[in-house]
With several copies, the nearest count.
Chain A
Amino acid sequence: MFDLNKIREQFPILKKQVNGKDLVYFDNGATTQKPQSVIDAVSNYYQEENANVHRGVHFLSGLATDKFEETRNTVRQFISAKHNHEIIFTKGTTDSINLIANGFRSLLKKGDEIIISELEHHSNIVPWQMCCELSGSTLKVIPLLDNGSLDMADFNNLLSKNTRLVAVSHVSNTLGTINPIKEIIEKSHSVGAKVLIDGAQAASHICLNMQELDADFYCFSAHKMYGPTGVGVLYGKEEILNTLPPYQGGGEMIKEVSFEKTTYASLPYKFEAGTPNIAGIIAFKSAIDFITELRIENIAKYEDELLQYATSEILKIEGVKIYGTSKNKSAIISFNIEDLHPYDIGTIVDKMGIAIRTGHHCTQPIMKRYNIPGTVRVSLAVYNTKTEIDICINAIKKAQEMLS
């Protein structure tokens, strides 16, 4: 049923050698690798179906349009959203968040407040800073506890009748913390605030149900879930999306254009100006199929097993400190080794074929919180193995030797 070899076989890049060693790819938080089915879907589209979508009367255009809309339907099922038109295709999580930050701005006035958290990715910080600056509203920040979880007591204090929107990530890309978003959503709704969830690190690891979760907006990127680059999803509740002004102007998003008055198309097209990433969106369906065939519960269970193993092995390294130790955690481990700079460690283990990420991971406020220049980050995916973890730990120990 859950056959690791069979899974790995589907990813051609995993057979690669890097610097003369078998690739160990532990940079999944940045982007995952792609199964052959996704790669083939892209090729197949260009070889058999390529045409611009919507409005075309000819066969290929109809075919491409059908397949394009099929992905929308697949995404809706995948996250149990109510309507297909609540699924907006964007170029990534960053694009999705900016779309909402831009639209929401027009609803804000001075004195209104937006709440984010200290562990957000820059993509879920900077758009709100820009939004607040332009609208005169105020940005509030939920602080972190030492273990890398949100200070929920403080969140309760921050929430008020002035809160218009709360934007937090489902899973921290640096600390691995799974945030209590259900609780955050409920509490935010109770004061009348909307909630945007940055699900970039969650969508391929946690089973999502929009109707149950009741999030107002949920954003994620295909490339972090075994899918193509340049494709993102913005889920939004129909009634709220309808109140937002369009983001970009262009083809597809209009009903009628005249120089006197332009009217906009209905959802989802109102937010999909211009020719979309058709190949990527069509191939994205194969990525979701890959996940649903394995069942995301199985993926989560296996990844958790890897997380436990990797954590215990990393803790055996002398002088190691893990950042992000909350109980509810996804398979992302950030750590530092006493007296060593993460950059040096990353540079050395790379030579041994191991791809890990070092640095601030686009979360500089977390670095500031812990007063560190960066971390070494191991982020795991379904195709990783315990053997790979062993190889990685050995490489890190070797680096430690060289550097001490």
Chain B
Amino acid sequence: METIKGIQAGIIEDFEMFDDWMQKYEYLIDLGKELTPIEEKYKIEDNLIKGCQSRVWLHAEKQDEIIIYTADSDAIMTKGIIAILISVLSNQKAAEIVSADLSFIDAIGLKEQLSATRANGLVSMIKKMKLYALALNNK
């Protein structure tokens, strides 16, 4: 199991290869397309995070000590962003997730690349993922 820190470093490296916004966006779009779809039964109101413009379904479950996230969105770039978050936080221990310092977001300039509404969505998504981990850990 790679550490959260390690995975972030990898993402930062990936993004350093990109010259312009278009390559970054294309990468996000690709990630979005490749995201393992959430099981239909989890695409329910309870798992819905309503953003300003797009909707996100997020599901988390605990397997042994590990939290596994699956998610979906109706917008592909939103999906790409979730895919990155999942790659960093899924398959990690709850405690690690809750205390994770997600500095890669600033490092890859994701917030500046995104519109303010999307950046807000990003922040609330991270909050939600950490909350889920916390809740599952206490179960």
Contacts and interface: CB of A to CB of B under 8 A. Distances in A.
The reply to whether A and B meet directly (CB within 8 Å) is yes
Interface of A: 19, 54-59, 61-62, 65-66, 255, 340-344, 346-348, 350-351, 358-359, 373-374, 402-403
Given A351-B25, A359-B53, A373-B54, A55 B76 contact: no
Interface in B57-75: 74-75
12 contacts: A55-B117, A57-B118, A62-B115, A62-B116, A65-B116, A66-B116, A341-B75, A343-B75, A343-B77, A344-B77, A347-B25, A347-B114
Nearest to A19: B21
B117 A341 contact: no
10 nearest CB pairs, A to B: A62-B116, A341-B75, A343-B53, A57-B115, A343-B75, A359-B53, A65-B116, A343-B54, A62-B115, A351-B21
A341 B54 contact: yes
B37 to A, nearest CB: 16
Contact of B55 (A340, A358, A373): A373
Nearest to B76: A344
Contact of A351 (B22, B78, B116, B117): B22
B34 interface: no
Contacts of B29: 344, 402-403
A27 to B, nearest CB: 13
Contacts, number: 62
A56 B117 contact: yes
A96 to B, nearest CB: 26
Nearest to A62: B116
Interface on chain B toward A: helix, strand, loop, or mixed SS? helix
A230 to B, nearest CB: 21
A55 B22 contact: no
B26 interface: yes
Contacts of B53: 55, 57, 342-343, 346, 358-359, 373-374
B17 interface: no
Given A359-B53, A402-B22, A347 B77 contact: yes
Nearest to A358: B53
Contact of A403 (B76, B115, B117): B76
Contacts of A59: 115
Contacts of B74: 341, 373
B79 to A, nearest CB: 9
Contacts of B118: 57, 347
Contacts of A61: 115-116
A343 B116 contact: no
A55 B52 CA distance: 6
A54 B120 CA distance: 11
Nearest to B51: A343
Nearest to A342: B53
A228 B139 CA distance: 53
A54 B117 CA distance: 7
Interface in B76-129: 76-78, 114-118
Contacts of B115: 56-59, 61-62, 347, 350
Interface in B1-50: 21-22, 25-26, 29, 50
B117 A344 contact: no
A344 B75 contact: yes
A143 to B, nearest CB: 26
A359 B26 contact: no
Q: Quick one: which of A55, A255, A341, A342 has the most chain B CB within 10 A?
A: A341
B52 A359 contact: yes
